Amino acid sequence: MPYKSILVFLDATSDTSGRLDLAITLAQQHAARVLGVDVSTPAALEGQWKDEATGLQDLFQSRLDHAHLIGEFRVADRSTSSWKALYAHFADLVVATQRHESNAGLVLPAVPEDVLLSAGVPVLILPPGWRPKPVGQSIVLAWTPSREATRAAHDALPLLTRAQRVTLFEFAPPADSLDFAPNLMVDHLRQHGVESELFTWRDKGDSSPVDALFSCLDRQEADLVVAGAYGHSRLIEGLFGGVSADLIRNVSMPVLMSH
């Protein structure tokens, strides 16, 4: 099933342009509508950022018109955390950017971590300074037999089915006398039309899970990571201990996460 509604967060920072480009590209691939949500803080509407913040609706609409897409523009509620505050419950996929020091005062604090943990939909998180390039041609699925990782894999199926290469990565995978866990997931993905190759890493104590994952990303020339997000509140705990925190805050490529 393709994504039919893609939400992209808009703000006064320079990251908005690339983020919007990716949302538009995905919408074209999946014949989806685009929901643009202004998540600027009151501070962004003053001083040097005012022109960018007040021009978001025009930017959004002009880019959609150029791409011949249907969409809607909304403004997030800046004063409450109501049920519709960020509109993320009403989309199939959310596109956001990692939080960093340069935009901390310009973007509502719920973006992206609180959205990821509360919206119930996958969030595609871009690194700061990301510029448009192909996403989803070579995907690494960071998988472990857990609820969060399984949810992420299924949420990413519209992308996995379109990828040229899918790699299933698992650190210290479990096994018993009958089955090897990664093989079961490879078979499951195949039922959805996704052919994947295994990259498993035995835990010899000389590499951390995140180092092993990044080694896999480099070897596979990946352009997207798919991973489950563990945690609660504003604390994101580990995919394999502390990896999901490293992914959401430090990775230099797009990562699609589900909670």
DSSP 197-248: EEEEE---SSS-HHHHHHHHHHHTT-SEEEEE-EEETTEEE-SSSSHHHHHH
Average pLDDT over residues 206-221: 72
Neighbours of 68 (CB within 10 A): 7
What pLDDT does 213 receive?
A: 77
> Which pTM value belongs to this model?
0.89
Three-state SS letters, 94-120: EEEECCCHHHCCCECCCCCHHHHHHCC
Better pLDDT: 142 or 243 = 142
CA distance 249 to 259: 16
Domain definitions of the chain by residue range: 5-126, 138-243
* pLDDT (tens digit per residue) in 76-115: 987 776 778 899 999 999 999 988 877 778 999 889 988 9
CA distance 97 to 64: 20
152-163 exposure pattern, b = at least 16 Cβ within 10 A, e = fewer: bbebbbbbbeeb
* pLDDT (tens digit per residue) in 2-40: 899 999 999 999 999 999 999 999 999 999 999 999 999
CA distance 13 to 11: 6
Instruction: Say which CATH architecture domain 138-243 belongs to.
Output: 3-Layer(aba) Sandwich (3.40)
What pLDDT does 90 receive?
A: 94
What pLDDT does 232 receive?
A: 43
Residue 62: pLDDT over 90: yes
Residue 239: pLDDT over 50: no
Domains 5-126 and 138-243 in one fold: yes
Percentage of the chain with pLDDT > 90?
A: 55
Q: What top-level class would CATH report for the domain 5-126?
A: alpha beta
Average pLDDT over the chain reads 86
